[in-house]
Amino acid sequence: MICSFPRQVDSQIFDDLYRRGKVELELVPQGNLAARIQAAGAGLGAVFTPTGYGTPLAEGKETRDIDGRHYVLEYPIKADFALIKATRATAGATWSIARRRATLARSWRQRRKPPS
């Protein structure tokens, strides 16, 4: 599972599965997750982002200093599907999330893997 937050505070199901080795986890800052999905949709090979530099989340990843600022290399994510919690949704993929509206139809469609 690639996500920015794998579980709710009161949910122990994911913890149990993770500890038993039944699920793998790649923890990614939310901004990096969005950048990686966008990179896939744009057909990019990878992107450099400053988020996560100098933290355990950047360990083992390529880093660069670009114009005096530190960046971490992140590879694109081509999703098979996405789980989205919303209070309402339309057929056009406009979601109401905690009194906010997110229209992501075009961007999510272009970022998924092409059918094989």
Render pLDDT for 19-61 as a digit per residue (tens, 0 to 9): 999 999 888 888 888 889 889 888 999 999 999 999 998 999 9
Contact 36, 74 (CB under 8 A): yes
What whole-number distance in Å separates Cα of residue 24 and Cα of residue 97?
A: 27
Tell me how many helices (H) and strands (E) the chain has.
3, 8
Helices (H), 4-55: 13-19, 30-42
Tell me the per-residue pLDDT of 73-100, one tens digit each, with 9 for 90 and over. Answer: 999 988 777 777 777 777 766 666 665 5
pLDDT computed for residue 65 by the predictor: 97
Q: Which residue has the tokens 């057909």?
A: 43
pLDDT computed for residue 83 by the predictor: 72
What whole-number distance in Å separates Cα of residue 29 and Cα of residue 51?
A: 7
